[in-house]
Structure 1
C-alpha cells in the first residue's frame, strides 16, 4: 500500500469512497456526512492545498484522508477537557478519513496515521489531532487502540458536537 497526494483525476474514485462511508454511517444510525458533505468542491480544495491523500494498492484507490499541518479553527475552543499539548501547540489534523468498503481491516487507516505522524515530525508538530461524531464508536475505538487520548468536546462551524482526540508524537 502506498500513501500519496491526491490528484484531480482521482476525484471520482475518492467520491466513491466517501459515498461508501456515507452509506455505512446511515446504515449504522450515525448522523455524520448525511447532508452532502464532504462534496466535490471541498475535496478539490483539499487537493489544491496539497492536503488530500489517497491509499493506493495495486493501482486501485482504497482510502482517502486529509492530513493538514495548518491546524483547525474549531479546535481553538475545547470543552469538558483540554488538549494534551495545550491550546497553542503545533499539530497535524486528520480529517475526512474513509476506506473503500471492499478493503476494510487492511491497515489503511493505520497507514494514514503513519503518514500524519511523518508530516508532524517534518513540520515540528508535537501531536496529531482528530475529531469524530459522538456515535462513531468504530472510529473512537480505533483512536484509542492507536494511542489517541480523548480530550473533550469541540463544536463544528455547523454547530455539531464532536469528540476530540490527540496523540503525542
Structure 2
C-alpha cells in the first residue's frame, strides 16, 4: 500500500472509489470538472489522501485546513469523504489515511480536527472512535441547502 496525496491523473480512480461512498455515478469530465479538480489540487490547504494498492485507489480521506482568527490564529481542520472500496475494507487502509490526515493537521498548526458522519452503523462509529475522535465534545447541526 502506498499513501499519498491525489495527483492530476487520479480523478477517474477517485470518482470510481466515490461510488462506494454515496455517489450513484461518475461526473462527466467537463471543462468545469477539470477546472475544479485543478483548483483543488493547487490549494495547499486541501488534501485528498489516497491509499493505492497495485496501482488502484482503494481508500481516500479528504482533509481541509481552515484559517482561523481565534485560538491564537491557529487553524482547524475538517475531514470529509472517508471511503474504502468494499472489497478492501477492514485492512487498515482508512486508519492509515486518517492517521496521515491528523499528522497533516498537526503539522499545519491546527488545534482540532473535526468530522461529521451520517453513518449509524456501529462499526463505522467505532472506527472513528478508534481513530481518536469522539462524539461527546461538540454537537453538530446541519442545514442542507
TM over 0.5, shorter chain: yes
Instruction: Work out the CA distance in 2 between the residues paired with 1:65 and 1:111.
Output: 10
Instruction: Work out the CA distance in 1 between the residues paired with 2:40 and 2:143.
Output: 18
Residue among 138, 141, 145 paired with 1:155: 141
- Residues 120-140 of structure 1: CA distance to partner in whole angstroms, max 9, x if unpaired? 221112222111115354432
- Residues 13-42 of structure 1: CA distance to partner in whole angstroms, max 9, x if unpaired? 1111111222xxxxxxxxxx57x7x96749
Normalising by structure 2, report the TM-score.
0.73
Contiguous gaps of at least 5 residues in structure 1: 23-32, 73-85, 160-169
Normalising by structure 1, report the TM-score.
0.64
Equivalences, count = 133
Contiguous gaps of at least 5 residues in structure 2: none
Instruction: Work out the CA distance in 2 between the residues paired with 1:66 and 1:103.
Output: 18
Residue among 128, 132, 144 paired with 1:143: 128
- Shift of residue 8, structure 1, vs aligned partner: 2.5
Q: Do the aligned partners of 2:99 and 2:131 also contact (CA within 8 Å) in 1?
A: no
Instruction: Work out the CA distance in 2 between the residues paired with 1:108 and 1:101.
Output: 12
Instruction: Work out the CA distance in 2 between the residues paired with 1:107 and 1:132.
Output: 19
Q: Do the aligned partners of 2:4 and 2:49 also contact (CA within 8 Å) in 1?
A: yes
Q: Do the aligned partners of 2:61 and 2:101 also contact (CA within 8 Å) in 1?
A: no
Q: Do the aligned partners of 2:74 and 2:109 also contact (CA within 8 Å) in 1?
A: no
Instruction: Work out the CA distance in 1 between the residues paired with 2:67 and 2:96.
Output: 20
CA RMSD in angstroms, aligned pairs only: 3.0
